[in-house]
Amino acid sequence: MAVDLGAIEAQLNNSFPGAVVERDGDWLVVDADQLTAVATHLRDEMGFDFLTHLSASDYPDRIEVVYNLYSTQPDLRGPGLPLKVRIPDRDNPHLPSLVHIWPGANFQEREVWDMFGVRFGGHPNLKRILLWEGFEGHPLRKDWYEPYYEQDNKPYSSRWPNPESPKPRSAEERVRWRANLQYPMGFDPDPEQWQPLPEIDVDIGDKIDVNGLDTDRILLNIGPQHPSTHGVFRMVVGLQGETVTSVYPVVGHLHRNHEKIGERNLWTGNIPYTDRLDYISPMHNGFGYVVTVEKMMGQEVAERAEYLRVIMGELTRVVNHILAIGFLFNELGAMMTPMLYAFTEREHVLDLFEEASGARMMVNYFRFGGVSRDVSDEWLKRCRQVVGRLDRKIDEFEFLLTENEIFIARARGVSPMTWQQLASYGVTGPMLRSAGLPYDIRKVEPYSIYESFDFDIPTYDTGDLYDRYRQRIAEARESVKILYQAVDRIPANGSIQAGKKSWNPKVPAGEAYGRVEHPKGELGFYLVSDGGTNPYRYHVRSPCFVNLGALEVMSVGHLLADAIVILGSIDTTMGEVDR
Amino acid sequence: MFGRGLIKGLSVTMRHFIESYTYDRNPLRWFSLKGRYDQEWLEKRQSIDGKGIFTIQYPEQKRKITENFRYIPMLVYEESQEDPRCTACGICARVCPPQCIWIQRATDDKGRPQAKPAGFWIDATICMSCGFCAEFCPFDAIKMNQEHELAYANRDEGMFYNLDRLLKPVGYYAEIHPSDYEREEAARWAKEEAKRKAAEAKKAAEAKKKAEAEAAEAKKAAAAAEAEKATEPAAPDDLKRIEGIGPKIEGVLQAAGIKTFAQLADADADRLNQILEKADPNLMNLADVSSWPTQAKLAMRGKWEALERYQERLKGGREK
């Protein structure tokens, strides 16, 4: 059901006079002073109880913070309510924090503070999240320049037709702006003088009292170089005995400011970069980006290309889920066997990707209005065989794992969550559905041609580890169902590109938030165009990053060995968390 | 029963373990190096119906590269390295997401820009192999190479590709991307044909009068040229340089009128087989002619180095 912005605006202005300042396209601009009251009212009275996306955008005269609210209520699911708040004071921007209304806003507000320098009053722990404490400046502001900064927008004029230095030597020598380095206040670049910055001050936590045990509280660092943390992720765990009393996730080790790079790139040039976000399921990242840009451009998509997109997307989903299960078992101690079985199946799918797109992981397959290459009939035939094999192999996985008594003993009843809890943390994807809320963007806000397929949204009740496992198996089965239909119904010999393919497409000025159901949750792209060749603002709402925000509430009170498995069950990829 | 799930699961791993040895019905293979690295067996194991162990022994075994596989770009030239397809239009340098392409446009004596690159550099250390340059090139001049085992001691010299290292003959491109090449050639041919027809129709009218007057003269000249061509046969090439052709087969081919690389390149496999069969049925079983035309094409253009590289992959005229 579409959201009636006019009615909501009237209702809000009725309850809080002057709360909605104006309408900006599809966005309601809310008065900063009344933000907390409006948000509480929206959550409690009007059903918009699901804050999934929060980010900001820097303009010459203001900073805008945007909120995308959705609803978990059956009749309000679907297109959400986009809000934004304008902060005219760029020198000292501040806003009330929404963490007490939606705990899930925690990480995203920290990110906005980190990248834009907006202070959120009332935030429990407003520290930098992707960068380190002591970093100089807020990098996503337009007046912040990175080292080796060359020019605001690609293409760089030094590349053609006559480069300034005819034969550039190496990255360090190539650019004369190499002295563009900013050091933190009081930092001396002389290595002799260097002093390490003070450690992060972490609360060990006294939320849990383990009675009857005379143990010391200790603080344990897990990671960043630890095989069970899925990449470079650091977990500072407070322990009493073996019981976890607090978890403080430290992310950002893989941070490369994907969003700043994205703002320098051409619109087309961002497609290959999205493959590097969640490298386990690269095909779906490009899907999210092109769907959002097509929404802004009003671009049609060729029908055969739509089918190819769905085929690639669902193959990715199956692979992602069985791989997630493989890793989950690795962390449970079933060393390697389920994981390598999962990798075997992944190889078959990657072979298909390589044949279609030219690369196994960095596929760069999606284009605005279509896909990059057509596939042959032979490919489709082989795809069908691979889908058949996946179908059989999911059965084998279930036969191998589902009834395993050790697994059941380790997983059942560990970290049970209600969907209300998870939704307040902004958690999306299989984890939310395993707790009983059938919220799947392919159904609630269909994109591409998902409406024409016959599939269900499986759900489980308790949201514990065992349900998260079963949820992924069930979703992989549904994806196989979609794949059978797509491979059978794909139109033969159609065009794979609607309109003319351009290396420099025109994107009209405006802003949009587009989201797709990524295997790990809601993958959103918040894009602002000023009508130029590059995005003015490019933000990735990463499902793994937001889902990690719920790690503490899921782990506290459980054993340390379970905390590792709980992290595995969130199914994170650090390439996407750190961006 | 408690433990049933465990036993079920263990039966799966047990089956995988046994199938690793029995899938090709010859467990003894595992004890010889040759058997372990057998390409045929590898393909069987890695097929969609494959079972058992899936891994390969790199670098002794290598997977087949698919046609679409892309790595570092290359520049295609037709006849000589002096005349690449590239016109230095700069689209690749502008669309390149990490901006790893530098182009310097050539100028003539008077300093006017020419449609040709004077310098072309690709920094492979920052190339992300996305393939946009090849996809958006309007002249089919830049294509993706498939050489992927790149390792150099010095990143500045090794990973920094200049024009000399980027230029590759069109034959090489046709070899690694056959279906793309065919599609592009067909499109180009159709375009040229349409252009030629339009030009012809235009010219036909005015040329008609002229042609009638000149017809007699032209005919005479053509006849003379043909006669000259006939009296001066092409010098026979050393066909033995083609792998698979020995002195005996060379004699047979020369007797059948195939004396030069160009003629061999034009001959298709069926015709060659017929010639061999006619001369001696044993010859046909001994030799595999399928690669000869390709080899002859390379030899015809004087690409001895490329021919040697190609021959390294051949065994008795057959691709390994």
Q: What is the pLDDT of residue A201?
A: 62
- List Cβ neighbours of A108 (8 Å cut-off, separation of 6 or more): A53, A54, A55, A426, A546
The answer to whether residue B70 neighbours chain A at the CB level (below 8 Å) is yes
Res. A33: pLDDT tops 70 = yes
The answer to whether residue B125 neighbours chain A at the CB level (below 8 Å) is yes
Q: How far is A356 from chain B (nearest CA, A)?
A: 7
Structure tokens that stand for A306 in this block: 């739509």
**Chain B interface mutation, best of A336, A341, A503, highest count of B Cβ atoms under 10 Å:** A503
**Which chain A residues are within 8 Å of B69, Cβ to Cβ?**
354, 358-359
Percent of chain A with pLDDT over 90: 23
Of A171, A355, A403, the CB nearest to B66: A355
Q: Which of A88-102, A245-259, B142-156 has the lowest mean pLDDT?
A: B142-156
Res. A225: pLDDT tops 90 = no
Mean of pLDDT values over B96-103: 87
**Which chain B residues are within 8 Å of A402, Cβ to Cβ?**
5
The answer to whether residue B61 neighbours chain A at the CB level (below 8 Å) is no
Structure tokens that stand for B205 in this block: 């009218």
Of A266, A355, A408, the CB nearest to B95: A266
Res. A525: pLDDT tops 90 = yes
> CA B275, B278, B280: angle at the middle one, nearest 5?
105
Res. A488: pLDDT tops 50 = yes
Q: Do A399 and B12 touch (CB under 8 A)?
A: yes
Give the side-chain half-sphere CA count within 13 A for A564: 20
Q: Residues, chain B, total? A: 320
The mean of the pLDDT values for chain B is: 79
Q: What is the pLDDT of residue B182?
A: 87
Query: What does the domain layout of chain A look like in residue ranges?
Result: 5-121, 258-578
Q: Which of A65-69, A258-262, A424-428, B52-56 has the lowest mean pLDDT?
A: B52-56
Q: Which of A160, A520, A166 is nearest to A317 (CA)?
A: A520
Q: How far is B219 from chain A (nearest CA, A)?
A: 48
Q: Do A160 and B102 touch (CB under 8 A)?
A: yes
Res. A473: pLDDT tops 90 = yes
Report yes or no on whether pTM surpasses 0.90: no
Q: Do A354 and B95 touch (CB under 8 A)?
A: no
pLDDT in tens, A182-201: 776 766 667 677 666 666 66
Q: What is the pLDDT of residue A302?
A: 87
Please state, in angstroms and rounded to a whole number, the distance separating the CA atoms of residues A239 and A222.
12
CA distances from B254 to B234, B238, B279 (A): 12, 10, 12
Q: How confident is the model at residue B320 (pLDDT cuts 50, 70, 90)?
A: very low
The mean of the pLDDT values for chain A is: 85
Burial of residue B138 (number of CB atoms within 10 Å: 0-12, 13-18, 19+): exposed
Place of tokens 């992720």: A233
> CA B179, B181, B183: angle at the middle one, nearest 5?
70
Q: Do B99 and A171 touch (CB under 8 A)?
A: no
Q: How far is A358 from chain B (nearest CA, A)?
A: 4
Q: Do A270 and B97 touch (CB under 8 A)?
A: yes
Q: How far is A103 from chain B (nearest CA, A)?
A: 37
**Which chain B residues are within 8 Å of A161, Cβ to Cβ?**
88, 90, 103-105, 113
Structure tokens that stand for A201 in this block: 């001050």
**Which chain A residues are within 8 Å of B128, Cβ to Cβ?**
272, 362
**Residue in chain A lying closest to B11 (CA):** A400
- Domain covering A258-578 assigned CATH 1.20.1090.10 in the classification: no
Q: What is the pLDDT of residue B88?
A: 84
Mean of pLDDT values over A463-472: 90
**Which chain B residues are within 8 Å of A154, Cβ to Cβ?**
94, 97, 99
Res. B33: pLDDT tops 70 = no
DSSP sequence for A230-280:
SSB-EEEEEEETTEEEEEEEE--TT---HHHHHHHS-TTTHHHHHTTTSTT
pLDDT in tens, B4-29: 888 888 898 898 888 877 776 666 76
The answer to whether residue B90 neighbours chain A at the CB level (below 8 Å) is yes
Please state, in angstroms and rounded to a whole number, the distance separating the CA atoms of residues A281 and A519.
8
pLDDT in tens, B155-169: 667 788 888 888 888
Distance of CA A276 to the CA centre of its chain: 12
Q: What is the pLDDT of residue B286?
A: 62
Q: Where are the beta strands (DSSP E) in A494-560?
A: 510-518, 521-529, 535-541
The answer to whether residue B298 neighbours chain A at the CB level (below 8 Å) is no
Q: What is the pLDDT of residue B37?
A: 67
Q: Which of A347-351, B169-173, B221-225 has the lowest mean pLDDT?
A: B221-225
Q: What is the pLDDT of residue A168?
A: 58
Q: Do B94 and A503 touch (CB under 8 A)?
A: yes
Report how far apart the first and last C-alpha atoms of chain A are (Å, whole number): 33
Q: What is the pLDDT of residue B292?
A: 76
Res. A77: pLDDT tops 90 = no
Residue with the bigger pLDDT between A128 and A230: it is: A128
Q: What is the pLDDT of residue A180?
A: 67
The answer to whether residue B178 neighbours chain A at the CB level (below 8 Å) is no
Q: How many CB atoms lie within 10 A of CB A567?
A: 25
**Chain B interface mutation, best of A160, A175, A261, A377, highest count of B Cβ atoms under 10 Å:** A160
pLDDT in tens, A305-339: 999 999 999 999 999 999 999 888 888 888 788 88
Q: What is the pLDDT of residue A112?
A: 93
Q: Do B5 and A404 touch (CB under 8 A)?
A: yes
The answer to whether residue B68 neighbours chain A at the CB level (below 8 Å) is yes
Res. A268: pLDDT tops 80 = yes
Q: What is the pLDDT of residue A321?
A: 93
Please, what CATH class does the domain formed by A5-121 belong to? alpha beta
Q: What is the pLDDT of residue A539?
A: 92
Of A355, A405, A501, the CB nearest to B5: A405
CB A294 within 8 A of CB A369: yes
Place of tokens 């605001």: A152
Q: How far is B118 from chain A (nearest CA, A)?
A: 10
Percent of chain A with pLDDT over 70: 90
Q: What is the pLDDT of residue A1?
A: 43
Place of tokens 């030799």: B287
ipTM value, please give it.
0.79
**Which chain A residues are within 8 Å of B102, Cβ to Cβ?**
158-160, 163, 168
Walk me through the domains of chain B, giving residue ranges and CATH numbers.
Answer: 1-64 (no CATH), 73-176 (3.30.70.3270), 239-319 (no CATH)
pLDDT in tens, A342-389: 998 998 999 899 999 888 888 999 989 889 888 888 899 999 999 999
Q: How far is A396 from chain B (nearest CA, A)?
A: 8
Q: How many CB pairs under 8 A join A and B?
A: 141
Res. A447: pLDDT tops 50 = yes
